[in-house]
Amino acid sequence: FGQSEVAYLGHIVTAEGVKADPAKIEAMVNWPVPRSPREMRGFLGLTGYYRRFIRHYGHIASPLTRLLQKGGWEWTEEARGAFERLKVAMTTAPVLSLPDFSKTFLVETDACDAGIGAVLSQDRHPIAYISKALNRRANQFSTYEREMLAIVVAVEKWRPYLLGQRFLVRTDHVSLKYLLAQRISTPTQQRWIARLLCYDFSIEYKRGVDNSAADALSRVPKALFAISTPTTSLWDRIRAAQKEDDTLRLLLSSVQTNPGSIPLYSAREGLLYREGKVVIPRGHPLCQELIRHHHDLPAMGHEGREKTRARVAADFCWKGQKTDVAHFVKSYPICQHEKYEAAKTPGHLCPLPIPDRPWEDVSMDFIDALPRSDGKEAILVVVDRLTKHGHFAALPRLYSARLVAETYQEWIGRHHGMPRTMVVTETACSSATFGG
């Protein structure tokens, strides 16, 4: 602490940003000419670790990577030139700025016959580079498809920065300016478009001669680190919640009076810990608040249930945490609205026969993720398919098949009897449960 710069995993982290460790750069500059594929792999392995600092790394290193192919070792003038250019590129690697999520991100992309490249920047300061050589199949793409592929690769690579943010994509291919408004005909392009639908961006055309990365050292931006620090008021609320819970209050009193008396548990600053994690009462509103806090961090990009749970579980624990996180992520409105559907195309939709009598055939579904009212956060919806008359019943956030069946009997069954058929979603309860 208190240092102006810190060496970390081959990088130097400063207030201005992140740069490569000069000691590693010196090792690359003094690297002798490789004489075998094994020596070449060592050189490319070291330079590849810092490829995020080098614009068009894949294009520069392409002649060297071809030497690693079976029967392809031949030290040519092209390979020697690529070897020297890569050394020079490493010595002039810029300082990469830290992202500021209060500002707009700019993604500049480009593609050529040899590969694709992109720059992520803010206020003309580079944050990261991407450079990737094209394989044999991608080399057969048209110029339009290669430029579109560059956008897809760049946006998905920088997903944690871009998801949930309005950003700008800049390309030197004028047709891509109207990418989202054009009629897409090929399956490959349709898949690429589907992968971009969960992002909020606009596309700007800029001539190739003007579409270059800016100097990373021209100005020093304000830094923003992706660190989540709970506030003092949150700790006070957790202390109050633990004291309100009878079980946790007794555990806290025991470990405070006699430390080490209960395995796995400890007390620190008036808080109860289990294996170093703060204990939260099960079902307390703080559980949802903590999940939302870790899921909505700007630097995390609305991650899935496993990564969100890992972040929550790193500091907090409560019974049913896995289920709570999974339900939150599954029903979170922003994720449902923004993220594209990756599941397989559903089967053929067949029309249902028209019922003969009222309430013989019904449809049932659930409305989730509603504001809490009297402990209820969901609604059971049952509609008669003939008359379209509906019944609505409130449910708690975590409802079981038994509870749904009992609610149906109380609010619908006693008025209309049991239906002959019931159309439900995959997540709804089975008809066998209701029959029992």
Q: Which CATH architecture has domain 5-91?
A: 2-Layer Sandwich (3.30)
Task: Report the 10 Å Cβ neighbour count for 213.
Answer: 17
Tell me which CATH code domain 106-210 carries. 3.30.420.10
Among candidates 147, 129, 38, 117, which has minimal Cα distance to 92?
Answer: 129
CATH for the 361-435 domain, from 3.30.420.10, 3.40.50.2020, 3.40.50.410, 3.40.50.1980: 3.30.420.10
State the span(s) of the chain assigned CATH 3.30.420.10: 106-210, 361-435
- Cβ partners under 8 Å of residue 192, min gap 6: 148, 149, 152
How would you write the pLDDT of the chain (436 residues) with one tens digit per residue? Answer: 566 677 766 667 766 667 666 666 666 677 788 888 888 888 787 777 666 666 667 777 778 888 887 766 778 888 888 888 877 776 665 556 777 888 889 998 888 776 787 888 887 777 777 777 777 787 778 888 888 888 999 999 888 888 888 899 988 777 777 776 666 667 888 888 888 888 888 888 776 544 443 222 222 233 333 434 455 578 888 989 999 999 999 999 998 888 888 888 888 888 899 888 899 998 898 998 888 888 776 555 567 778 888 888 888 999 999 999 988 888 776 666 555 555 555 566 678 888 889 999 999 998 887 888 888 988 999 999 999 999 999 999 888 888 888 999 999 998 999 899 998 876 555 433 444 4
Enumerate the CATH 3.30.70.270 domain ranges in the chain, comma separated. 5-91
pTM as predicted: 0.39
DSSP 354: P
Best CA proximity match to 128, nearest among 91, 153, 146, 149: 153
Q: Where in the chain is the domain with CATH 1.10.340.70?
A: 235-338
* Contacting residues for 241 by C-beta, under 8 A, at least 6 apart: 280, 281, 284, 286
Gap between the Cα atoms of 229 and 220, Å rounded? 25
d(CA 224, CA 295): 18
CATH number assigned to the domain with residue range 235-338, chosen from the 4 options 1.10.340.70, 2.40.50.140, 3.90.870.10, 3.50.50.60: 1.10.340.70
CA dihedral angle for residue 398, residue 241, residue 307, residue 152, rounded to 10 degrees: 90
